[in-house]
Amino acid sequence: MFFAKSPTAALVGFLLLAGLLAFGQKPNAPTGPAPRLPDGKPDLNGVWQRPYVPDITKNGPGQQGVPELSFTPWGAENWKTYDPAKNGDYTGSCLPFGLLRSMNSPHAMQIVESAKYVALLYEQNTWFHVVPIDGRAHPQDLDPTWFGNSVGKWDGDTLVVDTIGFNGQTRLDTVGHPHSDALHMVETFARSDAGHIAYTVTVDDPKTYTKPWKNVRTFTLRPDWELLEYSCEENNKDLREGHIKAPTLAK
């Protein structure tokens, strides 16, 4: 039970509780067949609610985990020695989450689709990731980045997004499963009906894992939602006042 010492605290507590209750409610997703754009392609546009995936090995509402990951010796040592309290979690310093950890976020994500691009707009930290779908290949000379370099194509009614060129500075989930700069991710987005997207992600990282593995999820359309501005830096007292360690980034 929440007991407030002031009217302001009571209001804050009420709003927090109301928000938690609302977040736990099942969305009333639209029904019917998947819509299409004028060119006949599936329409992925909209604001989507995604399952929170803090641990890619666990099952949860709307997501199928990977019970056992097979590490290489390098991957096993990296996972065994990971200690965010000692080495710092880079997200606490407001550094980019990286692609998969951003997809794991419980915050809303908006998809904006055109004939040439699909843009993923994350409410989390107001980040975005733009995927060209005009048939281009990855650049020959890639500059490694936090979110990697993505190119997409349609395979029937399924959008397939291929991403390489990661800088190796991020983790795959909140609990810290590792990856290297050799990470290769393949995501699929299929509008299964008016209210849902069937999403899969396949992780292939031969430096970290002995074989590729796949995670399966369901996204739900939220026509009642709009993205909110999100700033990690604003009022981040742990960062400003030195309560958390600066992260140790890979070299």
pLDDT tens-place string over residues 104-155: 999 999 999 999 999 999 999 999 999 999 999 999 999 999 999 999 999 9
> Could you give phi then psi for residue 60, rounded to 5 degrees?
-165, 175
Neighbours of 177 (CB within 10 A): 23
Size of the chain in residues: 251
Going by C-alpha positions, the residue among 105, 106, 60 that lies closest to residue 215 is 60
pLDDT score recorded for residue 26: 63
pLDDT score recorded for residue 4: 37
Percent pLDDT > 70 in the chain is 89
pLDDT score recorded for residue 251: 66
pLDDT score recorded for residue 8: 38
Domain boundaries, the chain: 37-240
> Which amino acid is present at 12?
V
> What CATH number labels 37-240?
2.40.128.20
The string of DSSP letters for 28-50 reads ----SSPPB-TTS-B---EEEE-
Residue found under tokens 């709003």? 15
Query: Residue 86 class from Cβ within 10 Å (0-12 exposed, 13-18 middle, 19+ buried)?
Result: exposed
d(CA 248, CA 186): 28
pTM confidence score: 0.86
d(CA 53, CA 207): 23
Low-confidence ranges of the chain (pLDDT < 70): 1-26, 251
Residues ≥6 apart with Cβ < 8 Å to 65? 53, 55, 56, 57, 58, 59, 215
